[in-house]
Chains A and B, each alone.
Chain A
Amino acid sequence: MPEIVLTQASAHLRHGSNIGQPLTRRDGVLKVTGAARFAADNHPPGMLYAVLAVSSIARGRVTFLDLQAAKAHPGVVEVMTPANKPLLAEDPDAKTNPFIFRLDVLQNDHVRYANQPIAVVIAETLEAATEGATLLFPRYETEAVRIGLEAGESFIPPGVGIGNPAETHQGDVEAGLAVASRRIDATYETAAQYHNAMEPHAIVAAWDGDSLSIDMPSQGLAMALGRVAGLFGIPPESIHIRSPFLGGGFGSKGLISGPQVLGIMAARLVGRPVKLVLRREQMFGPVGHRAPTRQTVRMGSDSDGALTAIDHHTKTASSTFDDFFEPASDISHTLYASPAISTSHEAVRLDTGTPLFMRAPGEATGSIALESAIDEMAEACGMDPLAFRLKNYAEVEPISGKPFSSKALRDCYAQGAERFGWARRPLASRQMRDDAGLLVGWGMGTATFPALMFQGQARAVVRNDGTGIVETGAHDMGQGASTALAQIAADGLGLDLDQVEFRSGTSDLPDAGIAGGSSHTATAGMAIHSAGADVIARLADLATGDERSPLFGAGNAGVIARRGRLFRRDDESRSESYAEILARAGLAEIEGRGNSAADPAAQSSYAMHAHGAVFAEVKIDPELGQIRATRLVGAFAAGRVINPRLVRSQYYGGMIWGISFALHEHAVMDPRSGRPMNPNLGEYHVPVNADVPSLEAILVEEHDSYVNALGIKGVGEIGITGTAGAVANAVWHATGIRIRQFPITLDRLIEPTP
């Protein structure tokens, strides 16, 4: 034996060894073999099928439904309409806090957007319910629709996002623009997008008296529990929600949706379990979307390329009946240093469903405009876009003047640029061709996303057989939460991963906070970490206070938990296993609790954000205009990485979404009817494999002592930001044509030959 065994000695310095490992998803085999049971895979005995009938008009009133025809169809059990729906304990149109959104659950005959539910047909089979819904042949009283950002009267919303002010001003923008030697003033448009997770919104609801059992995908179990309890007037303890797997959420499953509530109502009405699953086209309306925006960015810089002013104004839209305003301008608060920054929003109300949180809400939309504008500003200054960004690097958060808790963006720029080969980029546009003569362009964008935390709780147990249990109602949307959080749980208990049972995904567990805002690993992870520490502290109390223990009297020196044993910190020859400690104390198990929340003191002192730099290559056929993003390199710094494989996967997914944002994704609305015209995955384009030939994500090392004790920032959303702008900027660099309407479609590159 060597005198010093590094792997043992290093344990002094490391809390554990699971965090940082690139484990594959623990539920991967279940998913690829089809054994994972998603919500709609459940079929309790006696279950009926419910199918929504949705409105084909966007504004007006339902005047007639052919209930007789629907009910006469063999297999149809009931048709739920405003006339016979079960009464709710709460008005679904009441808004008691910003996280409560108004629902369309047959409260009346009004129609306020296309694809709004207007009836629910419940039948013995899916086929019968589907046909029953068709047979309703609704008639309407139709009013003129308001679609598009020109419709309706513009106003300044009371707030944007969740409670952000609609306007923020720092310094004197007009003065900054006045003294600028170079200026740009450009308007960018982004399209409406719909989340379209692979798994549509679904619910299987079963009542037993006033107890309710629910299977449904949820990114926010505790909030869903509260909402259902409120709507149905039953205590939360009477409700059990299971959401072990989600087939994607992207924000659209953060809050229980109207159709899911209708599933519960239908089950109440017929007194049998009911399953309700949205059809793909029904996802385009009642379950949220990303609102369109028109953003005007004005910038000025001095003769050295230092920004003198940023003015970012967004026009967006909400529904006619509820408030969610895409906070697109707010991205300009944090990224680039400028003595004057002004952000503002205005909005119109349209006959659409209410927009909602969609992966990087505000940040994604704002980023493509801001990063395009920065590119235009760099061009105006005759500067390389990376040099321009470095010139205007924010050493402190520009809008607040706070220092960053950590910011390894310079490393991201450097590592990304190096890997991409950015130094070889010609400054001017339309300079590069490949061997076949395709235009080649290189563009870049800066990625950023705030490091958020919600409140969460966890419970941890060590049993007298030396194994552990950790519980928190976390949500695995496919991002791998149940794997990464189990890694944190194992380290928190000082156990190997296979010694810990990690329980999540049901509403009876401690609230893990919403899986949104890229905050889930931090929120649930810190709660788990704290719960683990609580258990270890209790074990240590038992051992150090008991003179029969080799750890007796180690209270001041402290102990280290590792591989199921507590070691005296200053003398590792003295240790005792968890099992021994519990046995002596006569305990079957010992339990600890943990909470997590953002630290208000740190928050008031520091600006907390993840950062990244994305470099994109596109190729474009010079005559035919077809565009392909041929190469992407992203380098991201987001604090501590719990599982590099899963984190890289999150960056990939975000970056692919960035391609989608820049080149593909848009909901086509008929301006006359207000109906979405491409409500299917054949025509609502997202990138296919052939659109993403080369993708790299670099995990840049970053240590943050302030965001939370584990140093975790979020990775779920940042990949979209930066990427979309990088792709758009590469299109300009390839062609010399600046397209400011997104997605960039090839028709904009086809100009008639003289």
Chain B
Amino acid sequence: MNIFDYLRPATVSEAVAAASEPGSAYLAAGTNLLDLMKGGITRPRRLIDINHLPGLDRIEHLPGGGVRIGALVRNSDLAHDSDLTRRFPAVAEAILSGASAQLRNAATVGGNLLQRTRCSYFYDVASACNKREAGAGCEARGGDTRLHAVLGWSESCIATHPSDFCVPLVAFDAVVEIEGATGRREVPLESFHRLPGDAPERESVLEPGELIVSVRLPAEAAAFSAHARYLKVRERTSYAFAVVSAAAALRIEEATILEARIALGGVALKPWRTRTAEEMLAGARPDLAAFRRAAEAALADAKPSGDNAFKIELARRIVTRALVLAAAGTPERVPALPASPFAPVPGVLLHA
């Protein structure tokens, strides 16, 4: 194995100072990073182990009604936090639809945001990849592209962001709290990940050394709790990344949508918020025709990056279905197959 330094700082500021050295990487659960290192995809010169930093593993329910989720909170702990599940059910459903139980027990909130794409050309070190090496080229273009991006891609990169968790988060205006050498700053999750443009090697707005310390969900997000779902289509029933996924949330009063939130996963290099579609639904009646119009609008700018045109139609259908599910109401408990089209929904005919 490559020789690297391993540091275990005691405080956030020590961590930030240590990670400001070039070639540093933060290590939390390592569920993605260690695979990347073993495969030679990344070769950090120093690992800054943040697992023991104090105070980053808490779920704080804030006085105003928001919630602050520490960067080291494990996926499973978050998904099984009863307050979170009750107030932000789509977030819990999204987490539980990801990875496997073993991975969720280890993987962290901060790591989820920063996980790398699953583009196979990124993992195949013999392929040119602009993400791995700026300016090297993109061999995914013209290769096996069935599952690549249909929104926001560029000639430099057609990869997608694989997170489930981030999809409802971006729909709910989550804010990323970041600690850096010059102090703390906040970035809306929607602006946190960068689209590839001509610099796909820059994946987020984080500056060298900056550390995600928490993610905050605003109080307003809880207003959707009665009508919030996450839906994920995948190529096996569990333990697979989304082909396309969607979070949909509605505030409904007197059979009228007051406000809608829609975000897509698996379609772009970031979790994809669709404000135009959301705005179309405000004031509309929650019916199939309105949902289809919104879905159409959500994908208006989509274009295939290869042999993946089906994902655009699939995404429309998923947005529509997620909205139907949201309108039908959040189930009392997260279904046994979270976010799955096969999740049993007693008494609701979804597939008429």
Contacts and interface: CB of A to CB of B under 8 A. Distances in A.
B342 A619 contact: yes
Nearest to A689: B238
B237 interface: yes
B350 interface: yes
A660 to B, nearest CB: 9
A626 B233 contact: yes
Q: Which of B144, B348, B351: most chain A Cβ within 10 A?
A: B351
A670 interface: yes
Contacts of A690: 236-239, 337
B233 A624 contact: yes
B120 A678 contact: yes
Interface stretch (B61-69, B251-259, B260-268, B310-318): B310-318
Contact of B351 (A623, A628, A670, A687): A623
B235 A687 contact: no
Contacts of B234: 626
Interface in B115-161: 118, 120-121, 123-127, 139, 142-144, 146
A351 B126 CA distance: 17
Given A130-B1, A677-B144, A437 B120 contact: no
A126 to B, nearest CB: 8
Given A683-B120, A747-B146, A747-B310, A688 B236 contact: yes
Interface in B308-328: 309-311, 313-314, 317-318, 320-321
A689 B237 CA distance: 9
A621 B237 CA distance: 12
Interface in B288-336: 309-311, 313-314, 317-318, 320-321
A624 B318 contact: yes
B342 A626 contact: yes
Report, nearest first, the 10 A-B pairs whose CB atoms are least far apart.
A437-B351, A56-B126, A127-B1, A690-B237, A690-B238, A621-B341, A747-B310, A677-B120, A750-B310, A623-B317
Interface in A672-710: 672-673, 675, 677-678, 680, 682-683, 685, 687-691
A437 B317 contact: no
Contact of B144 (A57, A131, A668): A668
B235 A745 contact: yes
Nearest to B143: A670
A436 B239 contact: no
Contacts of A689: 238
Contacts of B10: none
Given A131-B1, A670-B143, A624 B337 contact: no
A435 B238 CA distance: 22
A672 B143 contact: yes
B34 interface: no
Interface of A: 56-57, 127-128, 130-131, 134, 281, 433, 435-439, 619, 621-626, 628, 663-664, 668, 670-673, 675, 677-678, 680, 682-683, 685, 687-691, 745-747, 750-753
Nearest to A619: B342
A668 B124 CA distance: 12
B248 to A, nearest CB: 14
A431 to B, nearest CB: 14
B197 interface: no
A420 to B, nearest CB: 20
Interface of B: 1-3, 39-40, 118, 120-121, 123-127, 139, 142-144, 146, 233-240, 243, 309-311, 313-314, 317-318, 320-321, 337, 340-342, 344-346, 348-352
Contacts of A751: 313
Q: Which of A57, A619, A623, A625: most chain B Cβ within 10 A?
A: A623
B313 A750 contact: yes
Contact of A691 (B1, B125, B238): B238
Nearest to B346: A435
20 contacts: A56-B126, A130-B1, A131-B2, A131-B3, A436-B345, A437-B350, A438-B341, A621-B233, A624-B341, A668-B144, A670-B127, A672-B142, A683-B120, A685-B236, A688-B237, A688-B239, A747-B146, A747-B243, A750-B310, A753-B313
A670 B317 CA distance: 30
Nearest to A433: B351
Given A437-B352, A623-B351, A628 B342 contact: yes
Given A435-B349, A677-B120, A690-B236, 12 more contacts: A436-B350, A624-B318, A628-B237, A670-B127, A673-B127, A677-B143, A683-B118, A685-B236, A688-B238, A690-B337, A746-B235, A753-B313
Given A624-B314, A677-B143, A668 B236 contact: no
Contacts of A624: 233, 314, 317-318, 321, 341
Contacts of B144: 668, 670, 677
Contacts of B348: 436
A160 B139 CA distance: 36
A620 to B, nearest CB: 9
Contacts of A56: 125-126
Nearest to B344: A436
Nearest to A664: B236
B144 to A, nearest CB: 5
Contacts of A670: 124, 127, 139, 143-144
Nearest to A622: B351
Nearest to A630: B342
A128 B1 CA distance: 6
B205 to A, nearest CB: 28
A671 B140 CA distance: 11
A623 B317 CA distance: 7
A670 B145 CA distance: 10
Contacts of B321: 623-624
Contacts of B39: 281
A436 B347 CA distance: 8
Contacts of A128: 1
A724 to B, nearest CB: 16
Nearest to B308: A747
Given A672-B142, A675-B126, A688-B236, A746 B243 contact: yes
A625 B352 contact: no
Nearest to A281: B39
Contacts of A628: 237, 342
B280 to A, nearest CB: 18
Nearest to B125: A56
Contact of B349 (A57, A436, A688): A436
Nearest to B39: A281
Q: Which of A621, A622, A751: most chain B Cβ within 10 A?
A: A621
A127 B37 CA distance: 12
A528 B85 CA distance: 61
B1 A746 contact: no
A663 B127 CA distance: 28
Given A437-B352, A625-B314, A677 B146 contact: no
A668 B239 CA distance: 19
A267 B349 CA distance: 65
Contacts of A683: 118, 120
A436 B240 contact: no
Nearest to A670: B143
Contacts of B233: 621, 624-626, 746
A673 B139 CA distance: 10
Nearest to B120: A677
Contacts of A685: 235-236, 240
A494 to B, nearest CB: 48
A619 B341 CA distance: 10
A677 B142 CA distance: 13
Contacts of A438: 341-342, 351
Given A668-B144, A673-B126, A677-B121, A134 B40 contact: yes
A682 B342 CA distance: 21
Contacts of A691: 236-238
Nearest to B312: A752
B124 A675 contact: yes
A750 B143 CA distance: 21
A678 B119 CA distance: 10
Q: Which of B118, B124, B337: most chain A Cβ within 10 A?
A: B124
Q: Which of A671, A682, A691: most chain B Cβ within 10 A?
A: A682
